[in-house]
Amino acid sequence: MRYVNAFGDDALGDLDAVALVEALRAGTVSRAELVEAAIARTEKVNPQLNGLVHEAFDVARKQANSASSHGAYFDGVPTFVKDNVAVAGMPTLRGTDAWQPRAEAADGDFAKEYLATGLIPIGKTQMSEFGFSAAAEHPRLGPVRNPWNTEYTAGASSSGSGAFVAAGVVPIAHANDGGGSIRIPASCNGLVGLKPSRGRVPLDADLRQMPVGIVANGVLTRSVRDTAAFYRELEKSWRSPKLPPIGNVESPGGRLRIAVLTRSVIRDCSPEVKELTLKTATQLETLGHRVEYLDEVPIPKSFVNDFVLYWAFLAMAQVRMGPRTFGPSFDRNRLDNLTLGLEKHAVRNLHRVPLAIARLATLRRHTARMYRAHDAVLMPTLAGETLRVGHLDPTADYDQIMGRLMEWVAFTPLQNATGEPAISLPLAQSASGMPVGMMLGAPLGHERRLLELAYELEAASPWPTINTAQQKPLSDKLTGG
């Protein structure tokens, strides 16, 4: 099924979050109307997309109809929260059936700040188990499907959030990224996805304890201005003193020196994705930026094995600490083959973990050399076009899953290890009509630079949303650059 579309003639219309804020302030819509429209849209498309893991419709209605107001910028705009952060009254299942769900007693550190912006959560979205896979294909609940074509994955681990924003259910949704999980669903679903710098956005306590902080919280949106507005509003209540502020970004910036890479430390991207990346590079040149083509990412070849081993170490911690963390109902036999395979990999190579962690912790020394000569770097978000449902089946053999996963997710893990920011923009489209994300990276703390560049590219090549794309024949749609 192509184009699962929730857009309609209701209070949400085809507006982004900033436009909804303007409508709320003008009095043309109410908080209650926006929440009811989002609930109706969820019920309309979730049977096809399968992105919802917990609904909080009645709680959202009560909040929307309350006479009290946050007074915050997004007050009344409906959203979803990914199912790996704590939200009061909602369970946190982390994409697995391995324990019995229980409602959280209080908001976690991230949810406190996220919801302080005024966003109203109407539920939690499905994700891959513990966020380890780039496709959410739950053995019991089934796969999260892509609204551009339901034969394809919506990407992961922030899968349900990506599917619902792209389909028009809500304009903005929470996502987080430990190996590409904001940028991957952004690429698959034709969205804007910024993985912020390490420390830019608060984390819940369990994520703060990681030896290398690879995870970052953020959002998925359909417009650059929604992403920029979120970070501006977040900074009003929470900001890291170690990073320069992003501030209010509303327009393009100056001319930049941009490196272009089509080969990761693992592999070249596919011929089609390479062509689309080079078209984007040409567009950057046309806009007046200075572009230089590099042969490969300037990092040690050991990075791949180090990152996989660290990933496996985190899986081992989840499995071994399961009863203590998740309660006595935890049953490792209900975990999927990817999680269990990663745990076995860590156990076999436990003696190598300290050195892998040490190398990952110093990786930014290598990318810093690249950024001394360049202001930003352009890469494809993914090495190939969006995968079909089933390609990353978590019940398959571990070696098969990992081989396919690493071939596809060859570019995004770098910024998780270095802590640097990167943004995926829906600047291209494959011959099959699926969105193809282009990724721009920058030095630590330079999200403002990425947002300014994103504004410029959005204005030069406006990307389609599902409701506009389905009105045109495939041959008329954006094909890159």
By residue count, the chain amounts to 481
CA distances from 24 to 115, 172, 198, 430 (A): 17, 16, 33, 37
Q: Is 181 among the catalytic positions?
A: yes
Q: Which of 351, 327, 405 is nearest to 155 (CA)?
A: 405
Report the chain's terminal Cα–Cα distance, integer Å: 27
Side chain identity at residue 378, one-letter code: L
Residue 407 token pair: 């071939």
In whole angstroms, give the CA distance from residue 126 to residue 144.
Answer: 7
- 10 Å CB burial of residue 241 (0-12, 13-18, 19+) is exposed
Q: Which of 208, 197, 193, 178 is nearest to 244 (CA)?
A: 197
In whole angstroms, give the CA distance from residue 197 to residue 200.
Answer: 5
In whole angstroms, give the CA distance from residue 311 to residue 133.
Answer: 11
Residue 465 φ/ψ, nearest 5 degrees: -100, 170
In whole angstroms, give the CA distance from residue 394 to residue 318.
Answer: 17
Q: Which of 25, 3, 23 is nearest to 11 (CA)?
A: 23
CB atoms within 10 A of CB 293: 11
Q: Is 270 among the catalytic positions?
A: no
DSSP state of 453: H
- Of the candidates 124, 128, 133, 157, the residue annotated as catalytic is 157
Q: Is 197 among the catalytic positions?
A: no
Supply the angle between the helices 398-408 and 303-320 in degrees, to the nearest 10. Answer: 130
Contact partners, residue 310, CB within 8 Å, separation at least 6 = 211, 212, 214, 353, 356, 357, 360
Residue 12 token pair: 């949400």
In whole angstroms, give the CA distance from residue 126 to residue 146.
Answer: 13
- Of the candidates 181, 187, 264, 424, the residue annotated as catalytic is 181
- Of the candidates 82, 159, 223, 270, the residue annotated as catalytic is 82
DSSP state of 256: -
What amino acid positions are annotated as catalytic residues? 82, 157, 181
